Chain A
Amino acid sequence: MTAASLDTAARTSAERGALARARLLRGLLPALSLALVLLAIAWLNPRAISYFGFSLMLNLAIPIALATIAQMFVIAGNELDLSIGTFVGFVGCVTATWLKDAPLIGAVILLGSIGVYALLGALIHLRNLPSIVVTLGMSFVWQGLAILVLPKPGGKAPDWLLGLMAFKPPFIPFPIVAALLIGLIVHFGLMRTSYGVILRGSGGNPAALGRAGWSLLRTKIVLFALAGLFGVLSGMALIGITTSADANIGNGYTLLAIAGVILGGGEFVGGRVSPIGAVIGALTLALAASPLLTFMHIPPDWQVAANGAILIIVLAARVLISRRER
């Protein structure tokens, strides 16, 4: 009898070990894919792995990471934001015009746009609307507003923003410092505070959360407002780098941000997201799309395809790991 029970005990502990290993592997997948892309770059062009190389290659990583975090908040609540790209573009246009010429009005406009995001969250919750359609409609609104603010490409970033984005910390390139900072701050807020748990719970099991007395309306408003806030930061960071704006400047960010969240280990339903993973996912996409392809002498036509291929490969790897989990 003892032999038999020992046997089962040994087996379950072995199984548990395998399960834990699979989970760990799954959690490490975003970091592994980033490491793989970095290795490929180092192998193809060792000189790129330097302070200057990283500053250059990760140039646009900060706005992408911020937009990805914005999308992550929306996905945490089981919704999807198809307007974040044009929103980033709109913020960019406001930053390059109003925020420079009349900082107070510019700031009010940007705060107001975060308010619009919060209202959208409320609207989607109260009328039980499909977020895909609402945000798709909003993407037209933001694009229209962006064109009204800045009919022709141009404008100029405020000097303080230019100075901030050109910051050169010692030893570690600014984009990496910024990405680490963004990831850690959001990680702490969403994963380590009690209200962060409630926010994720609103995506994981809204019914249970509602019965426990939490306002689902409020969680949705907070999630959308946070998305708006990070969208604003993304647009401002983008203009700080590009120095001038264009109404279409952010259009590609919508799909990039969704891809970043999923690459970073986020799930579409169930409030399972990872801020640090999302930042890593954004960095992977930023690196893989252009520097890696350039070093491999692949024409830029295939830039978008590289994003798609990475997404598919990582998801396939995830399926293989999950199969072991079972």
Chain B
Amino acid sequence: MAALKPLLAKPWIWSFIGALLVWLATIAFTGGYGAGGMVTAALSLAVFTVIVGVGQMFVITLGPGNVDLSLPANIGLASAVAMKVMDGNDSMIAVGLLAALACGATVGAVNYLLIWALRIPPIIATLSASFIIQSIDISYGRGLQIKPPPGFADFANWQILGVPVLAILTVLFTIGAAIALQRMIYGRSVLAIGQNIRAAWLAGVNVGRIRFLTYTLSGALGGIDGALLAGYFRGANVDIGNEYLLASIAVVVIGGTSVAGGKANVPGVWGAALFLVLLLTMLNTFGVSAGVRLLLTGLIIVGVITAAGGQKAPR
């Protein structure tokens, strides 16, 4: 028990406990049937939420009001760009991924440009940007019927012993993100800005550059996510990123990152993403209708947020 105590004090442990409980409830319902397959499916789907969740986490950590609302539109556009560049051709996979990355990074950079040039709250800047990106995507990706290259689709769905390879790569990526957050100048600067932007500036942190990098990073991750989603679901789609607005913000908050900024948590993003995906699986297994599923998802998110409570913004 004594060994458990420091573990229980970690803010991210609750999201994993939640995920575990939901999983147990589901296999209790199915009588143990499909327990392993469910974990595999949950891991494959959670990956997409984790990737954008990490980007959103860095943005939210910058402090109150910082949030990237352009992720869904960004994901949609990048998925179309990736599919068009790859054009069903295995030799173009790397180029397509780079194109999606560049597309996302550009969106992120434009977001910051708007915030900086117009001195408007990030919510409005990313919102206006998302309007425009959405239109570009609708116009550019209309009727896009290009399938991903077979090699790319196989890669996105590749599993080793029931563990999706994409999930392994994403775990490595999140470890890198955690190191960047806690041990590198960039991450410490993000945390410092979130805790007190003025103090960070006085301490010599290049606030503008760090914020620019963070929004570009979030955009780039959205871009990669779009390409991977198109590979996994075998095709691009304007609406492919829609659910990732709520999901990216929810996993950050449920995962124990402070909405007031200055306190981030990488493992929690994984726990929360698994929790959300398993929750959907559970509701599907219980055979509830679409309406009830949406209703319960919403109620559970509100409930979890209420239970977790908010912290007073440090002043």
Contacts and interface: CB of A to CB of B under 8 A. Distances in A.
A305 B136 contact: yes
Interface residues of A, number: 46
Contact of B250 (A133, A142, A268, A304): A133
Interface in B76-127: 114, 117-121, 123-124, 127
B22 interface: no
B295 A315 contact: no
A258 B69 CA distance: 12
Most chain B beta-carbon contacts within 10 A, residue among A143, A145, A255, A311: A311
Contacts of B245: 136
Contacts of B253: 130, 133
A217 interface: no
Contacts of B138: 301, 304
A129 B305 contact: yes
A148 B296 CA distance: 12
A138 B306 CA distance: 12
A315 B120 contact: yes
Given A144-B293, A147-B294, A305-B136, A311 B306 contact: no
Q: Is the interface of A mostly helix, strand, loop or mixed?
A: helix
A308 B293 contact: no
A318 to B, nearest CB: 8
A303 B135 contact: yes
Contact of B131 (A139, A255, A319): A255
B35 to A, nearest CB: 27
A312 interface: yes
A170 interface: no
A98 B205 CA distance: 58
Given A134-B305, A141-B295, A144-B296, A309 B290 contact: no
B124 A262 contact: yes
B7 interface: no
A292 B293 CA distance: 40
A148 B305 contact: no
A139 B298 contact: yes
B200 interface: no
A225 B311 CA distance: 24
A315 B302 contact: no
A305 B295 contact: no
Interface string A252-288: 0001001100100000110000000000000000000
B299 interface: yes
A141 B299 CA distance: 6
B127 A259 contact: yes
Interface size grouping (class) on chain B:
35 or more
A319 to B, nearest CB: 5
Nearest to A261: B124
A308 B130 contact: yes
Contacts of B291: 144-148, 151
A139 B245 CA distance: 12
Given A138-B302, A147-B290, A304-B134, A130 B310 contact: yes
B170 interface: no
A319 B135 contact: no
A262 B128 CA distance: 11
A252 to B, nearest CB: 11
B180 interface: no
Given A145-B295, A301-B142, A308-B128, A128 B309 contact: yes
B250 A319 contact: no
A312 B306 contact: no
A301 B135 contact: yes
A312 B121 contact: no
Contacts of B114: 312
Interface in A300-326: 301-309, 311-312, 315-316, 318-319, 322
* Leading 8 A-B pairs by shortest Cβ distance: A308-B131, A140-B298, A144-B295, A144-B294, A305-B135, A147-B291, A141-B298, A137-B301
Interface of A: 80, 123, 127-130, 132-134, 136-148, 151, 255, 258-259, 262, 268-269, 299, 301-309, 311-312, 315-316, 318-319, 322
16 contacts: A128-B311, A130-B305, A134-B305, A137-B246, A139-B298, A140-B298, A144-B294, A146-B291, A147-B290, A148-B291, A148-B295, A302-B139, A305-B132, A307-B131, A308-B127, A319-B119
Given A134-B302, A142-B298, A151-B289, 9 more contacts: A80-B123, A128-B310, A128-B312, A136-B249, A255-B131, A269-B121, A301-B139, A301-B142, A304-B131
